[in-house]
Structure 1
């Protein structure tokens, strides 16, 4: 499904490790003033002057985090950068550099890695980050990608997970559940393809949710928006494991409770219709689906007038005292304790 059988295949052995890195990164341009030296020496050299530095790392493993039967390599390269930038933005910081390391088996020709790195290059161009180093090695088990992202932030702007206070509002960017439902559609079409390889899937009804799975966008725009609105969240986290899991992280770190309103959770119409088609409850998907890479935050009530008319942000609940617990308020106005089922158990 992913490979054109007639495409050119250049063995990686022909280049060697340093030749491979040079070949894959030769078009990368420096965009950040803080990048003194990028790729090409023993280490990158960065100069952040008076800013604080944030650093985060993610690992993506074939058949655990991605399936190349429906994940194009260019999309995978793009997504690998996004999942790391999202963690930087969750600190209310500005992403500046990334390093990329890959372990790759001999079933991948040079042309496949060119596609992977083209996706990374596109992501770095759009988000204004420099790819300043990394490593390549061989793998016996397929493709493994490790990305480290670096960012800078003024001390006064840093937002941790542990700052939520009772009476703060719980706010989320964008909409939820789309990435998980996109995955369900892709998994279904993969099974159909196995039975009938000549069958061409018609995915027109699912374009939004499939894009949210294959090509997510980190919410750099929300960090800028909050700054423009003069709103500093009291706590913030990105939604990689599902809304319920991330709310629990915030509440435990901040030692508070929460009331999350089911009828306030933002859902795209395509998510709702696809959930109906799959006979899955849309609230369950929003709570436990994961990979949305939206930003979940708490803000002081006095900042509510600044955000209330903004289509990018939705108030979905409020913070309570710790002894009131962490609860979902259903449409029937009953309280259900929040539990962190998370991404993996939905796949089980």
Structure 2
């Protein structure tokens, strides 16, 4: 019997696994500026910075074809990758799409999937330039690589926040998670009674947040128009609290977040209450909102204070002051991150 130690991937988790496997990675080209550890890798080509991000969506893990239409799935696959490019304060230019699919998918079904891909490419003004297609013995897998450009003056990493920077988030939070709860409930009712019709009319916003998320490229363009370069940034894919922790870790800072500043849509709030879920828990830990979380210098506050889609939710402070949330009652409690766990 072998004495070789076996470590389960679940012991490390997604980010621990990435840190472990990449600890001995070396760069051999001077053009590589940033590798593993941010929303996208960064390479210097001439006067431009090229940013590249890859994301994989796996059936049964990231999506359920019993309730997500293929057209929406194609759109979402592009949007979530464009969101990573946006999080680097860059502009997406090209995407590649690779598929692994089982024989249950017809040509007609794939045409619908690719229609969603084309719609997203049109919406974000990106070129679909290639990819790969292969067979799968179990379901559908979609891997998208997005390529964008920016400059050294505008590139934004997770590591640039400074003490007293303002913490901001776009849009609203928790909707995608609540939408998922609605879809899962309707699926279970359908499995029990295949004659039933899904009751989704009451939840258009939250269901839409789950099925067809939108990358916030408009915010990147608007910040540029305002002359604002965030000091750090990340997209909200695994839950707000988890993403805040990433900014804290990479910038070596702590944070204070104000509970009463968390932006939550009325439909999200009411639907969470219907499911007996705390709306703040949805906002902090739900994930898949694909909003942008970023920090700004204090002097930039005047430029964004009246922006309807940018919300100030806290500030960065010294690491020894911890990662805390100030409750509505004024109490200070540790901020908990319980976002999506891949393993």
The TM-score normalised by the length of structure 2 is 0.86
Report what 1:250 is aligned to: 247
State how far apart, in whole Å, the 2-side matches of 1:193 and 1:65 are: 20
SS at match of 2:81: helix
The TM-score normalised by the length of structure 1 is 0.85
Report what 1:89 is aligned to: 86
SS at match of 1:150: strand
| 2:76 aligned with 1:79 | yes
State how far apart, in whole Å, the 1-side matches of 2:287 and 2:297 are: 26
Report what 1:35 is aligned to: none
Would you identify which runs of 4 or more consecutive aligned residues in structure 1 move more than 2 Å? Answer: 47-50
Report what 1:319 is aligned to: 316
Report what 2:28 is aligned to: none
SS at match of 1:319: strand
Check conservation: 2:186, 2:199, Cα contact below 8 A.
no
> Please, which of 95, 101, 104 is the counterpart of residue 104 of structure 1?
101
Report what 2:223 is aligned to: 226
> Please, which of 325, 329, 334 is the counterpart of residue 326 of structure 2?
329
State how far apart, in whole Å, the 2-side matches of 1:182 and 1:89 are: 24
How many Å apart are 1:51 and its aligned residue? 1.2
State how far apart, in whole Å, the 2-side matches of 1:135 and 1:313 are: 38
State how far apart, in whole Å, the 1-side matches of 2:125 and 2:282 are: 32
> Please, which of 307, 321, 336 is the counterpart of residue 310 of structure 1?
307
Report what 1:23 is aligned to: none
| 2:199 aligned with 1:202 | yes
RMSD: 1.3
SS at match of 1:342: coil
- Alpha-carbon deviations, 1:99-154, whole Å to 9, x = none? 00000000111111101111000000111000111000000010000000000001
- Alpha-carbon deviations, 1:295-345, whole Å to 9, x = none? 000001111110111101000001111110000111111122122211249
> Please, which of 53, 64, 67 is the counterpart of residue 67 of structure 1?
64
State how far apart, in whole Å, the 2-side matches of 1:49 and 1:217 are: 31
State how far apart, in whole Å, the 2-side matches of 1:311 and 1:107 are: 45
Count of residues paired in the alignment: 300
State how far apart, in whole Å, the 1-side matches of 2:207 and 2:192 are: 22
State how far apart, in whole Å, the 2-side matches of 1:57 and 1:338 are: 29
How many Å apart are 1:198 and its aligned residue? 1.2
Report what 1:282 is aligned to: 279
> Please, which of 123, 126, 131 is the counterpart of residue 129 of structure 1?
126
How many Å apart are 1:250 and its aligned residue? 0.1
State how far apart, in whole Å, the 2-side matches of 1:150 and 1:189 are: 37
Check conservation: 1:258, 1:327, Cα contact below 8 A.
yes
| 2:126 aligned with 1:156 | no
State how far apart, in whole Å, the 1-side matches of 2:126 and 2:192 are: 43
Report what 1:15 is aligned to: none
